[in-house]
Amino acid sequence: MRSIVFNLSTLCMGFLAFSQNTNHHKTKKTNNVATVVHKNPKDLFDPAPFAFSHATTNEVDGKYIFISGQSGGEGLEHHLSKDFRTQVKFSLKNLETVLADYRLGVNDVLKITVLMVDHDQEKLKIWTEEMHKVWKNNKFPASTLIPVPRLALDDMMIEVDAVAFIKK
């Protein structure tokens, strides 16, 4: 079982390294942006200060993009900083890199799942601050944070996967 998990982790790391090579792609602004609808029912608390929406959907024809977990690894060597905030910034940057390959941006993300090693309130605060920097319009995707004891590599502290939507 460990060899299967290790082999899957290695395969994912290879895809991650390839997805970070953006020298052959340029980010272009296009009209791919779907009409994302953010729902925050009035009978529930306002989630915006915590950098998420209760639900999101879209109102146009298109397809979903399922993005594998992006770690806080830097560059093609996938260097993992010992600093949690640095890993958070790079996990979000790596997510943006994958989105850009589809000519999408963070506002096209409907759902994110955050895996956080040794979750605590200070890490949650850092995560929330960095989300607010990336989602400047405060229209956040639906989100789930899952505390975990460890991730694929020894020094990984965070991993973020996402579901985005591209209109036809």
pLDDT attached to residue 58: 75
The model's pLDDT over 19-54, given as tens digits with 9 standing for 90+, comes to 344 433 333 344 555 577 888 888 888 999 988 888
pLDDT value, residue 30: 43
Instruction: Collect all residues with Cβ–Cβ distance below 8 Å to 7 and sequence separation of at least 6.
Output: none
Task: Encode burial over 55-89: b for 16+ CB neighbours within 10 A, e otherwise.
Answer: ebebeeeeeebebebbbbbbeeebebbeebbebbb
Residue 140, both tokens: 């956040």
Running along the chain, 168 residues long, what does each successive block of 10 average in pLDDT?
47 42 39 70 88 82 91 94 98 96 94 97 97 93 97 96 91
CA 68 to chain centre: 9
Burial code (b: 16+ CB inside 10 Å, e: under 16) for 18-29 equals ebbeeeeeeeee
| E strand spans, 20-130 | 36-39, 55-58, 62-71, 109-117
| Structure confidence at residue 31 (pLDDT) | 53
